[in-house]
Amino acid sequence: MVIANPIYDVVFKRLMENDKVAKFFIGTLLEQNIETIELKPQEYTYQSEVDYDDPNTIKAIESRMIERLSIRVYRLDFVATIKTNTGEFKKVLIEIQKANNEIDLMRFRNYLAEQYKKEELINDEKTVLPITTIYILGFRLPEILSPCLKVERNYKDLITKTIIETKSEFVEKLTHDSYIVQVERITGRYQTRLDKLLSIFEQTNFVDDKKIIKEYNHEVDIEEVKIATDILHHSGTNTKEKQKIEIEQEGNRTIDALTGNLRSKVLKYMKDLTEAEKALIEKKETILKKDEAIAEKDEAIAEKDEAIAEKDEAIAEKDEAIAEKDALIAQLLQKINQQK
Protein backbone atom coordinates (compact mmCIF):
# COMPACT_ATOMS: atom_id res chain seq x y z
CA MET A 1 0.00 0.00 0.00
CA VAL A 2 1.20 3.53 -0.76
CA ILE A 3 0.47 6.23 1.80
CA ALA A 4 1.12 9.96 2.17
CA ASN A 5 3.85 11.12 4.53
CA PRO A 6 2.03 12.25 7.71
CA ILE A 7 4.80 14.68 8.67
CA TYR A 8 3.01 17.33 6.58
CA ASP A 9 0.48 19.51 8.37
CA VAL A 10 -2.33 18.98 5.86
CA VAL A 11 -1.91 15.19 6.05
CA PHE A 12 -1.60 15.06 9.83
CA LYS A 13 -4.76 17.19 10.06
CA ARG A 14 -6.63 14.58 8.02
CA LEU A 15 -5.44 11.87 10.41
CA MET A 16 -6.42 13.77 13.54
CA GLU A 17 -9.86 14.57 12.19
CA ASN A 18 -10.66 10.91 12.73
CA ASP A 19 -11.72 10.41 16.36
CA LYS A 20 -10.36 6.86 16.66
CA VAL A 21 -7.00 7.74 15.12
CA ALA A 22 -6.66 10.86 17.28
CA LYS A 23 -7.40 8.86 20.45
CA PHE A 24 -4.98 6.15 19.29
CA PHE A 25 -2.21 8.66 18.59
CA ILE A 26 -2.48 10.61 21.86
CA GLY A 27 -3.49 7.66 24.05
CA THR A 28 -0.59 5.49 22.85
CA LEU A 29 2.01 8.18 23.53
CA LEU A 30 0.55 9.20 26.88
CA GLU A 31 -0.09 5.54 27.80
CA GLN A 32 -3.62 6.43 28.86
CA ASN A 33 -7.05 5.49 27.59
CA ILE A 34 -8.72 8.55 26.08
CA GLU A 35 -12.45 8.77 26.70
CA THR A 36 -13.17 11.95 24.76
CA ILE A 37 -11.10 14.24 22.57
CA GLU A 38 -11.71 17.62 21.00
CA LEU A 39 -9.11 18.71 18.47
CA LYS A 40 -8.71 22.36 17.47
CA PRO A 41 -6.25 22.97 14.64
CA GLN A 42 -4.84 26.49 15.00
CA GLU A 43 -4.22 27.96 11.55
CA TYR A 44 -1.98 30.96 10.87
CA THR A 45 -0.18 32.46 7.90
CA TYR A 46 3.19 34.08 7.42
CA GLN A 47 2.73 37.80 6.65
CA SER A 48 4.52 40.55 4.76
CA GLU A 49 8.18 40.51 3.80
CA VAL A 50 11.29 41.26 5.80
CA ASP A 51 13.09 44.56 5.24
CA TYR A 52 16.61 43.18 5.26
CA ASP A 53 18.17 46.59 4.51
CA ASP A 54 17.03 48.33 7.69
CA PRO A 55 19.71 47.44 10.26
CA ASN A 56 18.60 49.74 13.08
CA THR A 57 18.57 47.08 15.75
CA ILE A 58 18.18 43.32 15.94
CA LYS A 59 14.94 43.93 17.78
CA ALA A 60 13.62 45.91 14.84
CA ILE A 61 14.57 43.10 12.48
CA GLU A 62 12.96 40.48 14.67
CA SER A 63 9.77 42.54 15.04
CA ARG A 64 9.46 42.65 11.24
CA MET A 65 10.23 38.96 10.87
CA ILE A 66 6.58 37.99 11.18
CA GLU A 67 5.13 41.18 9.72
CA ARG A 68 6.83 40.99 6.33
CA LEU A 69 6.84 37.25 5.54
CA SER A 70 3.89 37.07 3.15
CA ILE A 71 3.44 33.67 1.51
CA ARG A 72 0.20 31.89 0.75
CA VAL A 73 1.00 29.01 3.10
CA TYR A 74 -0.51 28.35 6.48
CA ARG A 75 0.91 26.36 9.36
CA LEU A 76 -1.09 24.26 11.78
CA ASP A 77 -0.70 23.79 15.49
CA PHE A 78 -2.92 21.18 17.07
CA VAL A 79 -4.58 21.64 20.46
CA ALA A 80 -6.53 18.70 21.86
CA THR A 81 -8.65 18.78 24.98
CA ILE A 82 -8.85 15.22 26.27
CA LYS A 83 -10.60 13.39 29.05
CA THR A 84 -8.98 10.20 30.29
CA ASN A 85 -10.89 7.18 31.53
CA THR A 86 -10.04 8.34 35.07
CA GLY A 87 -12.04 11.53 34.48
CA GLU A 88 -9.02 13.83 34.24
CA PHE A 89 -9.06 16.66 31.69
CA LYS A 90 -5.84 17.72 29.97
CA LYS A 91 -4.75 20.05 27.18
CA VAL A 92 -2.42 18.40 24.67
CA LEU A 93 -0.35 20.58 22.32
CA ILE A 94 0.94 18.83 19.19
CA GLU A 95 3.67 20.54 17.18
CA ILE A 96 5.26 19.36 13.93
CA GLN A 97 8.69 20.75 13.07
CA LYS A 98 10.24 19.44 9.87
CA ALA A 99 13.59 21.26 10.11
CA ASN A 100 15.79 22.48 12.92
CA ASN A 101 14.81 26.12 12.65
CA GLU A 102 15.49 28.62 15.46
CA ILE A 103 12.53 30.76 14.42
CA ASP A 104 10.14 27.81 14.86
CA LEU A 105 11.71 27.08 18.23
CA MET A 106 10.88 30.58 19.42
CA ARG A 107 7.40 30.22 17.93
CA PHE A 108 6.91 27.05 19.98
CA ARG A 109 7.97 28.84 23.16
CA ASN A 110 5.66 31.80 22.51
CA TYR A 111 2.79 29.50 21.57
CA LEU A 112 3.28 27.44 24.73
CA ALA A 113 3.19 30.63 26.81
CA GLU A 114 -0.06 31.67 25.15
CA GLN A 115 -1.63 28.28 25.89
CA TYR A 116 -0.63 28.50 29.55
CA LYS A 117 -2.65 31.74 29.76
CA LYS A 118 -5.80 30.34 28.13
CA GLU A 119 -8.79 28.97 29.99
CA GLU A 120 -10.89 26.11 28.62
CA LEU A 121 -14.63 25.59 28.94
CA ILE A 122 -15.19 22.31 30.78
CA ASN A 123 -18.74 21.39 31.84
CA ASP A 124 -19.82 25.01 31.20
CA GLU A 125 -17.12 26.36 33.51
CA LYS A 126 -13.88 28.11 32.59
CA THR A 127 -10.84 26.38 33.99
CA VAL A 128 -7.08 26.16 33.49
CA LEU A 129 -6.02 22.67 32.35
CA PRO A 130 -2.71 20.85 32.85
CA ILE A 131 -0.68 20.87 29.63
CA THR A 132 1.13 18.05 27.86
CA THR A 133 3.23 18.70 24.74
CA ILE A 134 3.97 16.37 21.83
CA TYR A 135 6.69 17.35 19.35
CA ILE A 136 7.01 15.49 16.05
CA LEU A 137 10.45 16.29 14.65
CA GLY A 138 11.54 15.78 11.06
CA PHE A 139 15.19 16.05 12.03
CA ARG A 140 17.48 14.22 14.45
CA LEU A 141 18.54 15.36 17.88
CA PRO A 142 22.23 14.32 17.75
CA GLU A 143 22.38 13.56 21.48
CA ILE A 144 19.23 11.37 21.56
CA LEU A 145 19.11 8.07 19.67
CA SER A 146 15.61 6.97 20.67
CA PRO A 147 12.84 7.55 18.11
CA CYS A 148 10.36 8.33 20.88
CA LEU A 149 11.01 9.71 24.33
CA LYS A 150 9.16 11.15 27.28
CA VAL A 151 10.51 14.08 29.27
CA GLU A 152 8.88 13.31 32.59
CA ARG A 153 8.55 15.19 35.84
CA ASN A 154 8.48 13.82 39.33
CA TYR A 155 8.01 15.31 42.78
CA LYS A 156 11.10 14.83 44.93
CA ASP A 157 11.28 15.52 48.66
CA LEU A 158 14.69 17.19 49.04
CA ILE A 159 14.69 16.50 52.80
CA THR A 160 14.14 12.74 52.66
CA LYS A 161 15.43 12.32 49.08
CA THR A 162 12.35 10.28 48.19
CA ILE A 163 9.81 10.53 45.36
CA ILE A 164 6.38 11.91 46.34
CA GLU A 165 3.62 9.98 44.60
CA THR A 166 0.80 12.44 45.42
CA LYS A 167 0.05 15.03 42.72
CA SER A 168 -0.76 18.69 43.32
CA GLU A 169 -3.15 20.64 41.10
CA PHE A 170 -1.00 23.74 41.57
CA VAL A 171 2.15 21.95 40.39
CA GLU A 172 0.41 20.13 37.53
CA LYS A 173 -0.91 23.38 36.07
CA LEU A 174 2.46 25.13 36.19
CA THR A 175 4.65 22.34 34.78
CA HIS A 176 4.23 19.76 32.06
CA ASP A 177 5.49 16.50 30.56
CA SER A 178 6.70 16.39 26.96
CA TYR A 179 6.81 13.65 24.34
CA ILE A 180 9.23 13.85 21.41
CA VAL A 181 9.02 11.73 18.26
CA GLN A 182 12.06 11.74 15.95
CA VAL A 183 10.66 10.38 12.71
CA GLU A 184 14.15 10.04 11.18
CA ARG A 185 15.08 7.51 13.89
CA ILE A 186 12.08 5.18 13.48
CA THR A 187 13.61 1.83 12.55
CA GLY A 188 10.75 -0.36 11.31
CA ARG A 189 9.98 -2.33 14.48
CA TYR A 190 6.41 -3.60 14.54
CA GLN A 191 5.81 -5.29 17.86
CA THR A 192 4.23 -3.06 20.48
CA ARG A 193 1.30 -0.69 20.16
CA LEU A 194 3.78 2.21 20.17
CA ASP A 195 5.82 0.56 17.38
CA LYS A 196 2.69 0.30 15.27
CA LEU A 197 1.87 3.96 15.81
CA LEU A 198 5.42 5.03 14.93
CA SER A 199 5.44 2.85 11.81
CA ILE A 200 3.03 5.29 10.19
CA PHE A 201 5.66 8.06 10.50
CA GLU A 202 8.63 5.98 9.33
CA GLN A 203 10.69 7.97 6.79
CA THR A 204 11.68 5.14 4.43
CA ASN A 205 10.49 3.41 1.24
CA PHE A 206 9.59 6.63 -0.56
CA VAL A 207 8.42 6.23 -4.14
CA ASP A 208 9.03 9.85 -5.16
CA ASP A 209 11.95 12.28 -4.91
CA LYS A 210 9.86 14.77 -2.93
CA LYS A 211 9.35 12.24 -0.09
CA ILE A 212 5.61 12.78 -0.18
CA ILE A 213 4.49 9.21 -0.98
CA LYS A 214 5.90 6.01 0.52
CA GLU A 215 5.18 2.31 0.59
CA TYR A 216 3.75 0.92 3.80
CA ASN A 217 4.81 -2.72 4.01
CA HIS A 218 3.72 -3.75 7.50
CA GLU A 219 0.93 -6.26 7.97
CA VAL A 220 -1.75 -4.25 9.75
CA ASP A 221 -3.28 -6.05 12.72
CA ILE A 222 -5.05 -3.35 14.71
CA GLU A 223 -8.06 -1.29 13.71
CA GLU A 224 -6.63 2.17 14.40
CA VAL A 225 -3.59 1.60 12.17
CA LYS A 226 -5.89 0.26 9.43
CA ILE A 227 -8.00 3.44 9.60
CA ALA A 228 -4.89 5.64 9.64
CA THR A 229 -3.27 3.96 6.64
CA ASP A 230 -6.53 4.11 4.69
CA ILE A 231 -6.70 7.87 5.31
CA LEU A 232 -3.05 8.24 4.30
CA HIS A 233 -3.59 6.12 1.20
CA HIS A 234 -6.37 8.45 0.07
CA SER A 235 -4.20 11.53 0.76
CA GLY A 236 -1.37 10.00 -1.23
CA THR A 237 -3.38 8.91 -4.24
CA ASN A 238 -6.02 11.63 -4.53
CA THR A 239 -4.80 14.32 -6.94
CA LYS A 240 -6.26 17.27 -5.02
CA GLU A 241 -4.99 16.01 -1.67
CA LYS A 242 -1.54 15.37 -3.09
CA GLN A 243 -1.48 18.88 -4.57
CA LYS A 244 -2.12 20.34 -1.10
CA ILE A 245 0.96 18.52 0.19
CA GLU A 246 3.08 19.81 -2.69
CA ILE A 247 1.92 23.39 -2.02
CA GLU A 248 2.83 23.03 1.66
CA GLN A 249 6.21 21.54 0.77
CA GLU A 250 7.01 24.38 -1.64
CA GLY A 251 5.85 26.92 0.91
CA ASN A 252 8.14 25.38 3.52
CA ARG A 253 11.08 25.62 1.10
CA THR A 254 10.31 29.30 0.51
CA ILE A 255 9.99 29.99 4.22
CA ASP A 256 13.25 28.15 4.95
CA ALA A 257 15.00 30.23 2.27
CA LEU A 258 13.61 33.49 3.63
CA THR A 259 14.36 32.67 7.26
CA GLY A 260 17.83 31.45 6.29
CA ASN A 261 18.45 34.73 4.49
CA LEU A 262 17.09 36.61 7.47
CA ARG A 263 19.36 34.69 9.83
CA SER A 264 22.44 35.50 7.74
CA LYS A 265 21.42 39.17 7.67
CA VAL A 266 20.96 39.21 11.44
CA LEU A 267 24.30 37.45 11.99
CA LYS A 268 26.04 39.96 9.69
CA TYR A 269 24.39 42.83 11.52
CA MET A 270 25.45 41.31 14.84
CA LYS A 271 29.02 40.98 13.54
CA ASP A 272 29.03 44.59 12.33
CA LEU A 273 27.54 45.67 15.64
CA THR A 274 30.17 43.69 17.53
CA GLU A 275 32.99 45.31 15.54
CA ALA A 276 31.49 48.75 16.15
CA GLU A 277 31.20 47.98 19.85
CA LYS A 278 34.81 46.74 19.87
CA ALA A 279 35.99 49.99 18.24
CA LEU A 280 33.96 52.00 20.75
CA ILE A 281 35.47 50.04 23.64
CA GLU A 282 38.98 50.60 22.27
CA LYS A 283 38.24 54.33 21.92
CA LYS A 284 36.94 54.44 25.49
CA GLU A 285 40.07 52.63 26.69
CA THR A 286 42.28 55.16 24.84
CA ILE A 287 40.38 58.05 26.42
CA LEU A 288 40.60 56.37 29.82
CA LYS A 289 44.37 55.94 29.48
CA LYS A 290 44.67 59.57 28.39
CA ASP A 291 42.60 60.66 31.39
CA GLU A 292 44.80 58.55 33.67
CA ALA A 293 47.95 60.17 32.18
CA ILE A 294 46.46 63.63 32.71
CA ALA A 295 45.49 62.70 36.26
CA GLU A 296 49.04 61.48 36.95
CA LYS A 297 50.47 64.70 35.47
CA ASP A 298 48.09 66.80 37.57
CA GLU A 299 49.12 64.81 40.62
CA ALA A 300 52.84 65.43 39.86
CA ILE A 301 52.17 69.15 39.41
CA ALA A 302 50.25 69.19 42.68
CA GLU A 303 53.15 67.47 44.44
CA LYS A 304 55.61 69.97 42.90
CA ASP A 305 53.43 72.89 43.99
CA GLU A 306 53.28 71.43 47.48
CA ALA A 307 57.11 71.09 47.56
CA ILE A 308 57.51 74.73 46.42
CA ALA A 309 55.04 75.83 49.08
CA GLU A 310 57.01 73.94 51.73
CA LYS A 311 60.27 75.51 50.46
CA ASP A 312 58.71 79.00 50.55
CA GLU A 313 57.52 78.35 54.08
CA ALA A 314 61.02 77.21 55.13
CA ILE A 315 62.56 80.35 53.56
CA ALA A 316 60.01 82.53 55.37
CA GLU A 317 60.85 80.83 58.67
CA LYS A 318 64.58 81.35 57.98
CA ASP A 319 64.04 85.05 57.16
CA GLU A 320 62.06 85.44 60.38
CA ALA A 321 64.88 83.79 62.39
CA ILE A 322 67.47 86.12 60.77
CA ALA A 323 65.32 89.15 61.53
CA GLU A 324 65.03 88.09 65.18
CA LYS A 325 68.81 87.58 65.31
CA ASP A 326 69.47 91.03 63.78
CA ALA A 327 67.13 92.60 66.33
CA LEU A 328 68.92 90.87 69.21
CA ILE A 329 72.33 92.06 67.92
CA ALA A 330 71.03 95.62 67.64
CA GLN A 331 69.83 95.53 71.24
CA LEU A 332 73.20 94.25 72.47
CA LEU A 333 75.09 96.98 70.56
CA GLN A 334 72.82 99.60 72.03
CA LYS A 335 73.52 98.42 75.60
CA ILE A 336 77.28 98.41 74.96
CA ASN A 337 77.19 101.96 73.69
CA GLN A 338 75.23 103.12 76.72
CA GLN A 339 77.85 101.65 79.12
CA LYS A 340 80.59 103.66 77.50
Beta bridge partners of 164: 155
CA 202 to chain CA mean position, Å: 27
Residue 319 domain-assigned (yes or no): no
At 18 the three-state DSSP class reads: coil
* pTM across the whole model: 0.67
Q: Judge whether 50 lies within some domain.
A: yes
Its domain, for residue 29, covers 2-274
> How many angstroms separate the CA atoms of 181 and 50, rounded?
32
For residue 239, how many C-alpha atoms fall within 13 Å in the half-sphere facing its CB? Answer: 0
Alpha carbon distance 225, 219 (integer Å): 10
Instruction: Give the C-alpha separation, 172 to 24, whole Å.
Output: 24
333 in any annotated domain: no
Task: Answer for the pair 127, 120: CB distance below 8 angstroms, yes or no.
Answer: yes
User: CA-CA distance, 297 to 292, in Å (whole number)?
Assistant: 9
Q: Is residue 17 part of a domain?
A: yes
Ordered per-residue pLDDT tens for the chain, 340 residues: 999 999 998 899 999 999 999 999 999 999 999 999 988 766 655 444 444 444 554 454 444 444 444 444 445 678 899 999 888 999 999 988 877 766 667 778 888 888 888 888 888 899 999 999 999 999 999 999 999 999 999 999 999 999 999 999 999 999 999 999 999 999 988 999 999 999 999 999 999 888 899 999 999 999 999 999 999 999 999 988 888 888 888 777 766 666 555 556 655 666 666 777 778 888 888 898 898 899 989 888 988 988 898 888 889 888 888 888 888 888 888 888 777 6
> Does residue 296 lie in a domain region?
no
The rounded distance, in Å, linking the Cα atoms of 93 and 79 is: 5
Q: Is there a contact between 138 and 7 (Cβ–Cβ < 8 Å)?
A: yes
Look at residue 131 and give its three-state secondary structure. strand
Q: Is residue 318 within a helix (H) or strand (E), and if so which, with residue range?
A: helix 239-339
Residue 250 lies in a domain: yes
Report the domain count for the chain. Answer: 1
Q: What is the pLDDT of residue 98?
A: 79
What span, in angstroms and rounded, lies between the C-alpha atoms of 41 and 30?
A: 20
State the DSSP string of 64-126.
HHHHS---S-EEEEEEEEEEETTS-EEEEEEEEE-S--HHHHHHHHHHHHHHHH--EEETTEE
331: in domain: no
Q: Is residue 293 part of a domain?
A: no
Strands (E), 145-267: 148-151, 155-157, 162-164, 177-182, 213-215
- DSSP letter, residue 183: G
